[in-house]
């Protein structure tokens, strides 16, 4: 083995140490303008790598920005909001570049309440907004009255109540919830039934003891209990907090971020923490709601692939056979998704295990060298939104990510002198 390869392996060992030491903890819930670094007053954070220009604004993202402008009061009508966007009066920025995440299209604007997750082992922070539930939502490009009303209820009613509960509890450790949910049928990307229930179980006593009127507390708990995907927006910053702490190790070939902006898929690796390696997004394979098909779908979009970057989601699909029909996968194939990922990674996460595979740890630590050499690419789950803003979710599926990103990152690593 060459000295260069030995040096990369040593760097990867440090990345592995940081990943498995990561301890994400929910510590607060605040308006984005108060905590998200560098967020301007007319800024909307989107998913994926930075946009190369207006031509990369997909229909779903356009709908999300229009909805954010209406929610913030920057415009009174969707037509006026569209004019602001087209005139460049609304800044669009990659959520990842502000320490945050965009669920599907994103849509974090200054007034949006965001979870604050701290990696207790290293002190770094990550942010994500509140999950709105399935179906029509701002993140899928909807901006109808019901969507806007829900956003305002989340901001004005639910968020203050949750913030008080989180502070009263002194925060909540997220990794144990994720680990237990994997043993209860979640893969912690598209399915969060168990994780959401486990979180609400921990949260409920503090909500019940809060100072809000009893009817408001009951309303909040009922809404949380009905939102089976709520914990997704906590799993995502938990994964980001872990992986961001593993970024910046010279010579390391491990992927610390996978994301898509509706035009390009991008990765970042530990050795180049601020550099994106991108390629056109790959097509989504999956299952469509009745009346819709591939011609209706928005191109792949979202930061939720941060879950697969750690080893959850499609990487842990063997833990969630009930997802097969929802994602358009044959029931007997779910374990194959997970098993195909093991050769691409550094190892198995010791705290996140899959009972159906004999309690093997989830495949963790994607190595761009292994991907480039094998030609097998990481797989991610994906939602499917309509390509026209305002319609919302039309299905769900999965994506085999483009090989070119990993090949480019591996090539850059080979030519870089890390001293």
Flag whether 276 is in a domain: yes
pLDDT digits (tens, 9 = 90+) for 89-124: 999 999 999 999 999 888 999 999 999 999 999 999
Q: What is the pLDDT of residue 260?
A: 97
Flag whether 241 is in a domain: no
Say which residues have a Cβ less than 8 Å from residue 232's Cβ, sequence separation at least 6. 103, 131, 188, 189, 192, 304
- The domain tally of the chain equals 1
Q: What is the pLDDT of residue 418?
A: 58
Flag whether 159 is in a domain: no
Flag whether 185 is in a domain: no
Flag whether 307 is in a domain: yes
- Please give the sequence-ordered ranges of beta strands (E in DSSP) within 281-404, or none if there are none: 285-288, 301-302, 345-354, 360-366, 379-385, 393-400
Q: What is the pLDDT of residue 419?
A: 55
CB atoms near residue 109 (< 10 Å): 28
DSSP state, 155?
A: I
Q: What is the pLDDT of residue 387?
A: 85
CATH number at residue 358: 3.90.1700.10
- Show the low-confidence residues of the chain (pLDDT under 50): none
Q: What is the pLDDT of residue 1?
A: 62
Biggest CA-to-CA distance, the chain: 67
Flag whether 349 is in a domain: yes
Distances 402 to 218, 224, 338 between C-alpha atoms, Å: 46, 36, 18
Cβ-count burial 316-339 (b if 16+ within 10 Å, e if not): bbbbbbebbebbbbeeeebbebbe
Flag whether 280 is in a domain: yes
CA distance 255 to 251: 12
Residue 411's domain spans which residues? 248-415
Flag whether 235 is in a domain: no
Task: Tell me the Cα Rg of the chain.
Answer: 20
**219 CB-contact burial (10 Å; exposed 0-12 / middle 13-18 / buried 19+):** middle
């Amino acid at each position: 083995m060459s000295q260069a390869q030995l040096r990369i392996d040593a760097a990867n060992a440090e990345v592995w140490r940081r990943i498995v030491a990561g301890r994400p903890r929910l510590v607060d819930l605040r308006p984005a303008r108060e905590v998200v670094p560098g967020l301007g007053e007319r800024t909307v954070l989107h998913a994926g790598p930075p946009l190369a220009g207006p031509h990369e604004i997909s229909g779903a993202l356009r709908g999300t920005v229009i909805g954010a402008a209406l929610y913030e009061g920057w415009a009174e009508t969707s037509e006026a909001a569209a004019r602001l966007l087209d005139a460049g009066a609304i800044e669009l920025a990659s959520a990842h570049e502000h320490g945050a995440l965009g669920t599907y299209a994103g849509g974090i604007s200054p007034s949006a309440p965001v979870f604050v997750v701290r990696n207790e082992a290293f002190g770094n922070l990550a942010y994500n907004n509140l999950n709105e539930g399935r179906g029509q939502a701002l993140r899928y490009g909807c901006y109808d009255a019901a969507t806007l009303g829900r956003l305002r209820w989340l901001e004005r009613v639910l968020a203050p109540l949750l913030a008080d509960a989180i502070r009263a509890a002194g925060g909540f450790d997220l990794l144990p919830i994720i680990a237990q949910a994997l043993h209860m049928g979640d893969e912690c990307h598209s399915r969060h039934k168990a994780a959401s229930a486990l979180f609400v179980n921990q949260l409920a006593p503090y909500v019940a003891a809060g100072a809000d009127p009893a009817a408001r507390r009951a309303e909040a708990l009922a809404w949380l209990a009905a939102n089976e995907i709520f914990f997704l927006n906590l799993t995502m910053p938990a994964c980001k907090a872990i992986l961001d702490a593993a970024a910046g190790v010279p010579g390391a070939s491990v992927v610390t971020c996978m994301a898509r902006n509706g035009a390009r898929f991008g990765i970042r690796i530990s050795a180049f923490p601020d550099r994106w390696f991108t390629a056109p997004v790959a097509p989504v394979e999956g299952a469509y709601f009745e009346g819709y098909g591939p011609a209706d779908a928005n191109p792949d979009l979202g930061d939720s692939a941060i879950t697969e970057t750690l080893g959850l989601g499609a990487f842990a699909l063997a833990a969630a056979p009930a997802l097969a029909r929802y994602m358009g996968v044959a029931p007997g194939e779910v374990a194959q998704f997970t098993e195909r990922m093991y050769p691409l990674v550094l190892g198995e996460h010791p705290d996140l295990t899959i009972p159906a595979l004999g309690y093997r740890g989830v495949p963790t630590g994607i190595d761009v060298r292994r991907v480039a050499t094998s030609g097998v690419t990481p797989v991610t789950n994906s939602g499917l939104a309509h390509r026209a803003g305002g319609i919302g979710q039309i299905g769900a599926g999965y994506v085999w990510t483009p090989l070119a990103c990993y090949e480019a990152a591996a090539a850059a690593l080979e030519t870089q002198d890390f001293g």
